[in-house]
Amino acid sequence: MTILVTGSTGTIGSQVLTHLQRQGAEVHALTRSPERAQVPAGVIPVGGEVGDIDSLRSALAGVSTLFLLVPNLADELTQAMLALTVAREAGVKGIVYLSVFKGEAYADVPHFAGKATVERMIQALGLPATMLRPAYFIQNDLRQKDLLLGPGVYGAPVGGRGVSMVDIRDIAAAATAELLRREQAPGPLPHDAYDVDSSDPTA
C-alpha cells in the first residue's frame, strides 16, 4: 500500500512527505527530477508530472492513496481533472485534493473557479476523496516582509473585513491525517470536505 504525493517539492507537499515518513507510511514523491529531489529518508522519488498522462499513469501503478496538489497554472483545471481521471482508472482507493476556502463564492477568480469545478467533478463521480479547503496562507506574507516591517503597519486591500488565514504547517498536518485515514481504511470511503481556516467568524 503506497501513498503518492504530488507537489512534493513545494512548501506544503514537502511537509506532507515529512509527516508521512514519520508515521512509517510507504511514500512516493512525484517530481520532474527524481535524481535531484531532496526528500526524507525512505521516501521514493518518482519521475513524472501531473500534466503528463503517461508519466502519471506510471507513477500511480500500485498506489492506493493520492495527495493531489496542482500548482496555480493556466491549465490547473485541466491537470487536476486529468489526474483524477487517471487515478480513477488506476483504482486508487483514496484521494486528498488540495482545494481552496470558499471557492464557490469567488467564481470570478480563475484559481478559485477551477478548484470549485474540480470539487463538483469529485462529487458528481462519487470519487473517494477528501477536499481540503485552506484559507490564505500566513506564509504568503513572507514575500512582503520588508514592506510590513518597515512602516510597522499590516495593510491589506480588503476594507473593513477580516482575512481568514492558516499556517501551511497546519494544512500539511490535516492532509497527512486524511491521507492516513483513507490509506488505513479497509476500502474506499465516501467523499468529504473540510475547511482549513482561522476560527474568526468575521473572516
Q: Average pLDDT in the 114-138 region?
A: 93
Residue 98 lies in a domain: yes
Residue 144 lies in a domain: no
Output the domain CATH number for residue 93.
3.40.50.720
Three-state SS across 129-172?
A: EEEEEECEEHHHHHHHHHHHHCCCCCCCCCCCCCCCEECHHHHH
Q: What is the pLDDT of residue 142?
A: 76
Q: CB 34: neighbour CB atoms within 10 A?
A: 16
Residue 46 lies in a domain: yes
pLDDT of 29 > 80? The answer is yes
Residue 147 lies in a domain: no
Residue 118 domain boundaries: 3-137+167-196
Residue 62 lies in a domain: yes
Residue 155 lies in a domain: no
Tally the domains of the chain: 1
Q: What is the pLDDT of residue 65?
A: 98
Model-wide pTM > 0.85: yes
Q: What is the pLDDT of residue 127?
A: 96
Residue 43 lies in a domain: yes
User: Residues 37-91: pLDDT tens digits?
Assistant: 999 999 999 999 999 999 999 999 999 999 999 988 889 999 999 999 999 999 9
User: Residues 139-195: pLDDT tens digits?
Assistant: 877 777 777 777 777 666 666 777 788 899 999 999 999 999 999 999 999 999 999
Q: What is the pLDDT of residue 178?
A: 98
Q: What is the C-alpha to C-alpha distance for residues 134 and 115, in angstroms, rounded to an integer? A: 12
Question: DSSP string spanning the chain?
Answer: --EEESSTTSHHHHHHHHHHHHTT--EEEEES-TTT----TTPEEEE--TT-HHHHHHHHTT--EEEE---S-TTHHHHHHHHHHHHHHHT--EEEEE--TTTGGGTTSHHHHHHHHHHHHHHHHT-SEEEEEE-EEGGGGGGGHHHHHTTS----SSTT----EE-HHHHHHHHHHHHHHHHHSSS----EEEEE--S-TT-
Q: What is the pLDDT of residue 159?
A: 66
Greater pLDDT, 56 or 200: 56
Residue 145 lies in a domain: no
